[in-house]
């Protein structure tokens, strides 16, 4: 009888522990995004625009010869918007050539992109803008250019300095896309 009483708790413990436990899946970091607010770009460039107060304007470190090429660095998000500017002169730098180059740069991402959606817009200053949104695991999710098609051409592309998947970055991508749309609509080319 004593052996039976000893066996009952052991038997209950063995039968009661049949539930298998699985580790919890990895979660995603919470990303708190500040409200949108904007600063105006300082003088010294052939253009003006409003950029996010979260970002910092810095010289483009890849091409220091081009003083009008800048990056808007979103340090907290590990993102940069690369802005390249060309003055259209009709001979060496003509609108047809640089606009084709901009479309080719976007098309290079077709290998990894699930889709590329392009749209044409007109800014409040009357400039033409082209926006390309890329979906999939691509290095740049949003590209644009704004031009008056006679004298000025400004191109921008969003890049992240991280190996995170784009679905994890989706809130930040959407946040910066709003900032880039604001930048495009506030561009004013200076003569």
Residue 45, phi then psi, degrees to nearest 5: -125, 160
Q: What is the pLDDT of residue 117?
A: 76
- Separation of alpha carbons 93 and 119, rounded Å: 24
Query: Do residues 187 and 47 lie in contact, with contact meaning Cβ atoms separated by under 8 Å?
Result: yes
- Separation of alpha carbons 79 and 86, rounded Å: 23
**In DSSP terms, which residues pair with 157 in a beta bridge?**
82, 143
Instruction: Please say if the pLDDT value at position 150 is more than 80.
Output: yes
- Each residue of 181-191: pLDDT tens digit? 999 999 999 97
Q: Which domains occur in the chain, in start order?
A: 38-189 (3.40.1000.10)
What predicted TM-score, i.e. pTM, was given to this entire model? 0.76
């Amino acid at each position: 009888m004593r052996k039976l009483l000893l066996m009952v708790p052991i038997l209950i413990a063995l039968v009661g522990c049949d539930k298998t436990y699985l580790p919890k899946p990895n979660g995603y970091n919470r990303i708190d995004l500040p409200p949108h607010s904007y600063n105006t770009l300082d003088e010294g460039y052939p253009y003006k625009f409003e950029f996010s107060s979260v970002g910092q304007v810095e010289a483009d470190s890849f091409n220091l010869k081009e003083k009008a090429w800048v990056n808007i660095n979103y340090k907290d998000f590990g993102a940069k918007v690369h802005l390249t500017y060309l003055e259209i002169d009709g001979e060496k730098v003509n609108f047809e050539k640089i606009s084709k180059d901009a479309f080719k740069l976007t098309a290079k991402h077709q290998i990894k992109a699930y889709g590329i959606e392009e749209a044409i817009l007109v800014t409040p200053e009357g400039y033409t803008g082209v926006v390309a949104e890329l979906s999939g695991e691509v290095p740049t999710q949003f590209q644009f250019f704004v031009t008056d098609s006679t004298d000025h051409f400004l191109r921008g592309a969003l890049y992240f300095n991280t190996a995170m998947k784009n679905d994890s970055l989706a809130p930040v991508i959407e946040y910066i896309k709003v900032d880039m749309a604001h930048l495009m609509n506030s561009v004013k080319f200076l003569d």
